[in-house]
A and B are shown apart, each in its own frame.
Chain A
């Protein structure tokens, strides 16, 4: 079995400030890790994912996340946020050998303060 913990349910940040959204996972097998974003009144969209290779992965809109196996973390960061980044962010994990289904965290609501 696998699980995902997003400790912060809400994160308010001033515009142009940096942000980090925390994600920790637990799994007995190797994992794939994902961040999905949900803009108001929409479905979820994939923001970025780690499958293998470089532990630092980036999205097209300036977000990045680093897979840290020793700390079982996959924190999401952006050096300077914009109003358009206001959304809910979900960390998710899937594994191998019977643990392939995607398991989501409870989400972090990012609010950008002008």
Chain B
């Protein structure tokens, strides 16, 4: 099993550009989520999904879109990148929402100039 994979590992964008961060898991997990990690702020939930076709907002959803067309994939779209979106982004998946271990991908380091 590859676990949770994320691409790209690094990305530099200019303000106003759009892009998609890819996330895939091969563990047949129903629950997937996106977090951003910023110094001194821990991990903050952006969006999450409890299954194919079902997504919901987390703590910091503004400026991001998600969709879940398959169990395996959960891409995160930045619509119009802003410097405030410079961060490290982590995708995670788990068997369930309550009490389950979340498995994290290696992260994408995004810089917006």
Contacts and interface: CB of A to CB of B under 8 A. Distances in A.
A45 B104 CA distance: 7
A43 B106 contact: yes
B61 interface: no
B40 A90 contact: no
B99 A46 contact: no
A12 to B, nearest CB: 17
A51 B101 CA distance: 11
A45 B107 CA distance: 12
A44 interface: yes
A41 to B, nearest CB: 8
Contacts of A94: 98-99
A104 interface: yes
Q: How large is the interface on B (under 10, 10 to 19, 20 to 34, 35 or more residues)?
A: 20 to 34
A32 B90 contact: no
A49 interface: yes
B45 A101 contact: yes
A100 interface: yes
Contacts of B44: 104
9 contacts: A4-B42, A32-B99, A43-B105, A44-B90, A101-B58, A102-B102, A104-B35, A104-B42, A105-B42
Interface of A: 4, 6, 9, 32, 34, 42-46, 49, 51, 90, 94, 96, 100-107
